[in-house]
């Protein structure tokens, strides 16, 4: 400050400047936050973050592919044979060890729900194909078993299971 002022008023003056600066900083932050938050997903996108799907039309041994958050998702109604086959696999044989129970919901073990992107480079694997009775990715030859776990090929991980829960025996909410 250039002008000469009585020293007795220095403290009062400084407090005013500090207070003004602090209030200004709060105001600036309050302005900046919405400008950044507008980048976050908007309400119409968030509305599609969670979907409910009725699985009753899916027959045993049948699979459908639905869309969730812009991604393809397999919903497969597994046969008891497929479930048994998955549970018989020792964990030591798995590149990404996961039990079948960990990949399904209790009481709804016949329903296998997974994001349909190969964990290698993202292609959609073909169902009921490959050497392990599950899925086969034609892009680079990854084989998945009846629980969607990687058994052979370049993919590093099992097919991703999204967050979901069964609202009833036939209604599943994904996301």
Complex with other proteins: residue 27 or 61, whichever CB lies closer: 27
Cβ atoms within 10 Å, residue 117: 17
| Residues with a known catalytic role | 140
Compose the 37-76 pattern: x for residues touching other proteins by CB under 8 A, - for all others. xxxx-xxxx-xx--xx--------------x---------
Smallest distance from other proteins to CB 12, Å = 9
Smallest distance from other proteins to CB 19, Å = 6
Does position 34 interact with other proteins (CB under 8 A)? The reply is: yes
Can you tell me which of 29, 35, 59, 90 binds other proteins, judged by CB under 8 A?
35
Q: Which of residues 107-146 bind other proteins (CB under 8 A)?
A: none
């Amino acid at each position: 400050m250039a002008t000469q002022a009585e020293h007795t008023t220095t403290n009062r003056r400084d407090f005013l400047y500090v207070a003004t600066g602090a209030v200004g900083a709060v105001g600036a932050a309050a302005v900046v936050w919405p400008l950044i938050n507008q980048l976050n997903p908007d309400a119409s996108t968030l509305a599609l973050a969670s979907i409910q799907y009725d699985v009753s039309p899916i027959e045993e041994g049948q699979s459908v592919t639905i869309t969730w958050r812009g991604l393809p998702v397999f919903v497969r109604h597994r046969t008891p044979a497929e479930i048994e086959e998955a549970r018989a696999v020792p964990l030591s044989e798995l590149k990404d060890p996961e039990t079948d129970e960990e990949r399904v919901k209790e009481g709804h073990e016949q329903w296998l729900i997974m994001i349909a992107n190969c964990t290698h480079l993202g292609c959609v694997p073909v169902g009921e194909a490959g050497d392990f009775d599950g899925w086969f990715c034609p892009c680079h030859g990854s084989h998945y078993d009846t629980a969607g776990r990687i058994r052979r090929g370049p993919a590093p991980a099992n097919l991703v299971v999204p967050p979901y829960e069964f609202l009833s025996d036939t209604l599943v909410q994904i996301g």
